[in-house]
Structure 1
Amino acid sequence: MSTFMQAQIMLTFANLLITGAPLIADLNKTHATNPLWIGHARFHVVWQVLSYGCLGLLNMYIIWRKPSSESLAVSCAILACIIIGFFSAAFSVKRFGGAFYDEKGYLPFAHRTIMGRHVEFDVNAVGFSFFGLILMIAAAMSFYAP
């Protein structure tokens, strides 16, 4: 299998994680149909995750239809926008009164004290960190593929 094909496969994996995970995680009672959320917030989460799903389908087309180094770079850029959007929201969460989780959603899966500070490990933050790492590997593979 060529290095280019390996890059396509890795980028497909990154695409499925980044655009597919929110569809699975958010279109349920923890988010989209959570009665504790106001209707407008539920509208926005459904809009967001369905947009990610559409971007994922577009990305599959970009990756596999007429693959080139340029098309893989565009695919990486699209996925990077989603990752950057997540971390921009994460780092500004206090500015808009947001939260990483609520009682009816996905609670932190671990609590640790690191350098004297209490740290909660949130599913979203850990997941999107992992997804970002996979994307960086896929991007590097795409860049170095002949």
Structure 2
Amino acid sequence: MPAFADLNETHLFNPLWSAHARFHGAWFLAFAAGVALISLYLMWWRNEVFAPVLLGLVFAIGFWIATVFGPAYGGALVDPNGHTHTIAGIEANMFLFSVFTMLLIAALGLAARIGRAKSLNERTSRYLARHEQSARTGCAAAALYRTNGNVSG
């Protein structure tokens, strides 16, 4: 989402920004797109949930750190030369990142539960496979023992 919002004259193509500031903007957008692609790959092709959610949460936390410490480095949430958008009376970045962060925290909790369930399921499957194999081996040995006439009945 930030790529669409930042690829315009208010951000990356803003003539009032220095060339170095635009460089950092382009670098950030490329990095964010790369992390998003890796996260999609992990979710769709590797069936991994926890790592992509954690990466998203790191991205969101970065926004909040930049917002909180903006006054210390002369940063601002909104460029005075750009457009200010609001949603329900709240600055759009604050609103969207608040929703994004809450959803990611909930997803992290679900991913942790899925991970624990998956881990428990894998351990249970290994346990059952070992005991099923032992039962088959034990039954085969007992049947062989009976057919050799060692056990009556």
Q: Which of the pair is proportionally richer in helix?
A: 2
The answer as to 2:13 corresponding to 1:33 is yes
Partner of residue 61, structure 1: 41
User: Is the 2:50–2:111 contact (alpha carbons within 8 Å) kept by the matching residues of 1?
Assistant: yes
Shift in Å, 1:51: 0.8
TM-score (norm 1): 0.71
Q: What is the CA–CA distance in structure 2 between the aligned matches of 1:142 and 1:26, rounded to whole Å?
A: 30
- RMSD, aligned CA: 1.9
User: Is the 1:32–1:46 contact (alpha carbons within 8 Å) kept by the matching residues of 2?
Assistant: yes
Q: What is the CA–CA distance in structure 1 between the aligned matches of 2:16 and 2:3, rounded to whole Å?
A: 20
When the two structures are aligned, how many residues end up with a matched partner? 115
Q: What is the CA–CA distance in structure 1 between the aligned matches of 2:107 and 2:88, rounded to whole Å?
A: 31
Q: What is the CA–CA distance in structure 2 between the aligned matches of 1:98 and 1:111, rounded to whole Å?
A: 24
Identity of aligned residues (%): 30
User: Is the 1:72–1:142 contact (alpha carbons within 8 Å) kept by the matching residues of 2?
Assistant: yes
Amino acid at match of 2:4: I
Structure 2 counterparts to residues 107-118 of structure 1, below 5 A: 107-109=84-86
The answer as to 2:80 corresponding to 1:103 is yes
Higher relative contact order (CA 8 A, sep 6+): 1
Match of 2:54 among 77, 85, 109: 77
Find the residue that maps to 2:30 and give its secondary structure.
helix
TM-score (norm 2): 0.68
Partner of residue 15, structure 1: none
Amino acid at match of 2:109: A
Q: What is the CA–CA distance in structure 2 between the aligned matches of 1:144 and 1:83, rounded to whole Å?
A: 21
- For residues 83-133 of structure 1, the C-alpha deviation after alignment (integer angstroms, 9 at most, x for no partner) is 111100000000000111123323152797xxxxxxxx3211211111111
Q: Which of the pair is proportionally richer in strand?
A: 1
Partner of residue 94, structure 1: 71
Where do 5+ consecutive residues of structure 1 fail to align? 1-20, 113-120
Amino acid at match of 2:30: L
Partner of residue 9, structure 1: none
User: Is the 1:106–1:123 contact (alpha carbons within 8 Å) kept by the matching residues of 2?
Assistant: no
Partner of residue 101, structure 2: 132
Q: What is the CA–CA distance in structure 2 between the aligned matches of 1:55 and 1:111, rounded to whole Å?
A: 30
User: Is the 2:42–2:52 contact (alpha carbons within 8 Å) kept by the matching residues of 1?
Assistant: yes
